[in-house]
Amino acid sequence: MPFGVFCFYNLGAGVLQSLFTSYTFKVAQFTFFQAFLSTFIALAVALIPSNYISKSNSYISFFAESTIFIPFFFPAVSTVVAFSIIGNFPFLKPFNLLYTLGIIVVANVFYNSPIFVKYIGEALRNIPVSIIENACLEGAGSIRIFFRIKLPMVMPSLLKAFFLCFAFCFTNFAIVLGLGGIKFSTLEVEIATTLSSSMNLSKALGYGIIQFIILSFISFLPGLASSYESDHSERKPFKSSRFSMLFTALYVFFEFFIVTSGLIFAFYNFYTGRFDFSGIITLFSAGLNAYYPVLKSLIDSFILSTLTALAVVVLVYLLLKSYSRFTDWIVLSACGISNAFLGIVLVYMNIRYSIPYVMLVLCGYLIISAPIAYSFMYQHIRGFPSEIIEASKVDGASVFQIFKLIELPILMPVFITVFIQIFAIVFGEFTIAYTMQLINYFPTVPVVDYAMLSDRRIIESSILNGISVLVIITLFLLSEMIRKRYRNKI
């Protein structure tokens, strides 16, 4: 409904004018180029770790697989803060890494390469051992086996990961805005900055249309390769080369160094070269909070994340209980929505109908979170044993009694895990909050953190970033513990 209203009042000649300009072509060209380059390099970096985790059950492979939490849990603003601080290290500053295409690509590779590692690694692990052994008996070397046998068999998973990684890079906002500066701009950045610049809503709609067309075209890639049904019973670890192990260890170090740097720099002052905890006092002081609402942002983010996660879990459960083909279409179609464009639409709804910002923000986060919860809960809700439900109905149990006494106890770990996941995603969401300028109405942690970083309050920004990282890592570990215990019970 919000998108329909927005298009109805803004779809006109202005949209066509914004589509066919040299500047639009330049922005679209750079958006596609940086997304494709980042995705290709991420794939190249992930090939060796993917192959390693498919052969090994070591701690290195465990941590390499665990990096999957980064693109789905780790806040984009935390990535910007980490790379901004690292780029200012004395031995790196002469290279002028910040505000270059190189730093954007490296940040994208850090953020999205775990998708390739997870998807390709699992696909390689599921290739039947007999095929590899027969190839070895025929005299094929490891390189030939990888490119002639393994790669074609994992192509469906590779293309799915490629689309997902490309979509993330194509629609990234915080990384380009924070690390690229005014020198670089993508379609997402142009959409988000419309409110603070020209207020040309038709132009924003035109950019949104271009995004939709390109992403829709790329989404057909996964269907080009035929899937392969693997035999899980044949899996067993293989011996890995020392080079493969060393490269994977370096990859794991790089990924987790960026993640933990948020915690390290929260208490380590790299200007003085020593640990310093005085910044915490400054961060929560009345003077700083008068300009940067740090304390209010923490409270607001916790409230917003809790309400959104609770609403998403309830909504998705009800949708899956009354499932239809239309449910799939309406929920999963939200995956193709640009967060910046969604923010513009929500602001327009406030301007036109005076809907309170808090309600609009909740609706926006619900829209972007529902597909994630839907994908995770689908099998558990739709695959719930129907014979148990039917037997309880025969015994006279009401719908509420069935839920309270049967479904809730069994599905509680699923509900808690999804709640934690959505909480973490909303807590670190930046694009919608920035686009809607929530720092002036309902400040959240990412926008306040970015505001301090932009004003060169690096120490305070690092501490707030460290708090965010600590919250996200704690939530991820808690989610994994619950999921593992639930899996063991099943």
pLDDT value of position 336: 67
pLDDT value of position 233: 46
pLDDT value of position 221: 66
Q: What is the three-state SS of the chain?
A: CHHHHHHHHHCCHHHHHHHCCHHHHHHHHHHHHHHHHHHHHHHHHHHHHHHHHHHCCCHHHHHHHHCCHHHHHCCHHHHHHHHHHHHCCCCCHHHCCCCCHHHHHHHHHHHHHHHHHHHHHHHHHCCCHHHHHHHHHCCCCHHHHHHHHHHHHCHHHHHHHHHHHHHHHHCCCHHHHHHHHHHCCCHHHHHHCCCCCCCCHHHHHHHHHHHHHHHHHHCCHHHHCCCCCCCHHHCCCCCCCHHHHHHHHHHHHHHHHHHHHHHHHHHEECCCCEECCHHHHHHCCHHHHHHCCHHHHHHHHHHHHHHHHHHHHHHHHHHHHCCCHHHHHHHHHHHHCCHHHHHHHHHHHHHHHCCCHHHHHHHHHHHHHHHHHHHHHHHHHHCCCHHHHHHHHHCCCCHHHHHHHHHHHHHHHHHHHHHHHHHHHHHHCCHHHHHCCHHHCCCCHHHHHHHHHHCCCHHHHHHHHHHHHHHHHHHHHHHHHHHHHHHHHC
pLDDT value of position 424: 92
pTM of the model: 0.85
List of domains in the chain: 1-276 (1.10.3720.10), 279-490 (1.10.3720.10)
- Tell me the pLDDT tens digit for each residue of 457-483: 888 898 899 899 889 888 888 887 887
pLDDT value of position 174: 92
Alpha carbon 402 to chain centroid, angstroms: 35
In the block, residue with structure tokens 């390469």: 113
pLDDT value of position 226: 55
> Using CA atoms, how far apart are residues 138 and 150, in angstroms rounded to an integer?
16
pLDDT value of position 230: 53
Which stretches in the chain have pLDDT values below 70? 13, 219, 221-239, 269-272, 336, 486-490
pLDDT value of position 362: 93
- Tell me the pLDDT tens digit for each residue of 281-301: 889 999 999 999 999 999 999
pLDDT value of position 490: 44
